[in-house]
Amino acid sequence: MKIKKFIAEFIGTAVLVFFGCGTAVVGTYLSGAMNDKSIGTVAIALAFGLSLTAMCYAIGKVSGCHVNPAVSLAVLINGKMSVSEFFGYVISQCAGSFAGCLLLSIVNKSLDIGGYGANGYGNLSSLNISLSGAIVVEIVLTFTFVLTVLGATTSKKYSGAAGVVVGAALTLVHIIGIPLTGTSVNPARSLMPALFTRGEALSQVWVFILAPLAGAAIAGVVFKLISDSKDTD
């Protein structure tokens, strides 16, 4: 039943946002206190990657563990899901992201720290990346990540290791992306933290919705052109 898939996507996205963005908030705080920015970057990248790996094995057989509208878009382009199912996934993912931020808000209040791991460019970027730079970065990172997801999850040969590969890919794009944009590659992951943060983060969130979707669309088309149908489900 589709409802089971939607519930799985809700749970998976909530976990990803809570642990990933939560580590971004706590890790950034600790990095500042210890004057070592590398601790925050590595910890955040691993938190996102390991969270996704865990969810791949927890809910992968139920929904495919997209937990990301960009991934769902690429899957749609490749004809692996219907339009109605796509929108159901996206709604579930955004709701899960909201739930993850809600849980994070409780932690923030308990520890008296702020932030929700929102993405940004300019003043909100550690390296003050420009708007055009942020768009290019998010398109490239999302293209790389989504192409990896499609390759790992549609190949019968590597299906057992797909969760590890996908998690490693998400970790990889975060390592380079965190200092630049905070790394989105996931519209649902970006939307709700921006809504909770408000201000400039909310005014910039359109970049982290449209750019990842563009990168995913390109990846979906490219994969459709280069994939071998004999090696896919």
- Segments making up each domain of the chain, as ranges: 2-231
The pTM for the full model equals 0.94
Question: Which neighbouring-strand residues pair with 155?
Answer: 232
**232: β partners:** 155
Distance CA 147, CA 82 (A): 20
Specify the pLDDT at position 233: 47
Residue 38, pLDDT > 60, answer no
Cβ-defined contacts of 25-33 (< 8 Å, 24+): 25/104, 25/107, 25/108, 25/113, 25/114, 25/115, 25/116, 25/117, 26/111, 26/113, 28/115, 29/113
Confidence at residue 160, expressed as pLDDT on a 0 to 100 scale: 79
How much of the chain, in percent, has pLDDT values that exceed 90?
A: 80
What's the pLDDT tens digit per position in 171-220?
999 999 999 999 999 999 999 999 999 999 999 999 999 999 999 999 99
User: Would you say residue 231 has pLDDT above 80?
Assistant: no
Angle between helices 37-63 and 2-34 (to 10 degrees): 170
Q: According to the CATH classification, is domain 2-231 in 1.20.1080.10?
A: yes
